[in-house]
Amino acid sequence: MSEDFKVYFPELTEDQRIKLGRLKDIYERWNSMINVISRRDMENFNTHHLLHSLSISKIINFLPGTRVLDVGTGGGFPGIPLAIIFPDVEFTLLDSIEKKIKVVTAVSDELKLTNVSPSRKRVEEEKNRYDFIVSRAVTSFPEFVKITRRTIHTGSKNELDNGIIYLKGGDLTEELSAFAGRVKIYDISRFFYDPFFETKKIVYLPV
């Protein structure tokens, strides 16, 4: 995996590569105690979780001070990998399931990620506002927009206007029809060569 990092992310520091390289072992240990990742995904951890999460960095280089909310983070994706490569960006990792937030807290503590704030709640309970919402297909896109858009500041200090960055696969034509002309869709296969990404997309909606 370290070779993949060098090919796909040549700008990473040695410290960032080390932290990303440690993630699989850390998650294997925690997953044996608190199951948050399926066995199949664990076997393909670096592709299914790390690279998939980091694909977001291929469409935006978050500026220092940007506030990002990871909704339905599960075990910490895409939030934790992104927090490693954007150490000056504030990440709040939100999930309603206590055991998942326990793992997120443990992983971020072990890696000393001071820019990660775990939060156990439903997004409907979130009172703060953020520059970007990121997530990995926790529900249909229209429903996701409905429950999260109020938590996003308008405007932007980044190259993309504030909004939602959503990781999802398959044919999204019908699901995104209500947002025609407003969403931008990026094929992750443009960035990474593994067959896993052939149908994977990044959906960006400015708010």
Give tens-digit pLDDT for 128-177.
999 999 999 889 999 999 999 999 998 889 999 999 999 999 999 999 99
Give the 3-state secondary structure of the chain. CHHHHHHHCCCCCHHHHHHHHHHHHHHHHHHCCCCCCCHHHHHCHHHHHHHHHHHHHHCCCCCCCCEEEEECCCCCCCHHHHHHHCCCCEEEEEECCHHHHHHHHHHHHHCCCCCEEEEECCHHHCCCCECEEEEECCCCHHHHHHHHHHHECCCCCCCCCCEEEEEEECCCCCCCHHHCCCCEEEEHHHCCCCHHHCCEEEEEEEC
Whole-angstrom distance, CA of residue 74 vs CA of residue 78:
9
Instruction: Determine the distance from the C-alpha atom of residue 18 to the mean position of all C-alpha atoms in its chain, rounded to a whole number.
Output: 19
Peptide bond into 78 cis (omega under 30): yes
Is the pTM value of this prediction over 0.85? Answer: yes
Residue 13 has what pLDDT? 95
pLDDT of amino acid 7: 86
Segment 42-79, tens digit of pLDDT: 889 999 999 999 999 999 999 999 999 999 999 999 99
Q: What is the average pLDDT value for the chain, to the nearest integer?
A: 94
How many angstroms separate the CA atoms of 54 and 197, rounded?
A: 12
Phi and psi at residue 129, to the nearest 5°: -125, 150
Percent of the chain with pLDDT over 70: 98
**Whole-number pLDDT of residue 39:** 78
Domain coordinates in residue numbering, the chain: 2-206
At 174 the pLDDT is 93
- Cα–Cα dist 169/179, whole Å: 17
Q: Does domain 2-206 have CATH number 3.40.50.150?
A: yes
Share of the chain above pLDDT 90, in %: 86
- The 10s digit of each residue's pLDDT in 76-129 is 999 999 999 999 999 999 999 999 999 999 999 999 999 999 999 999 999 999
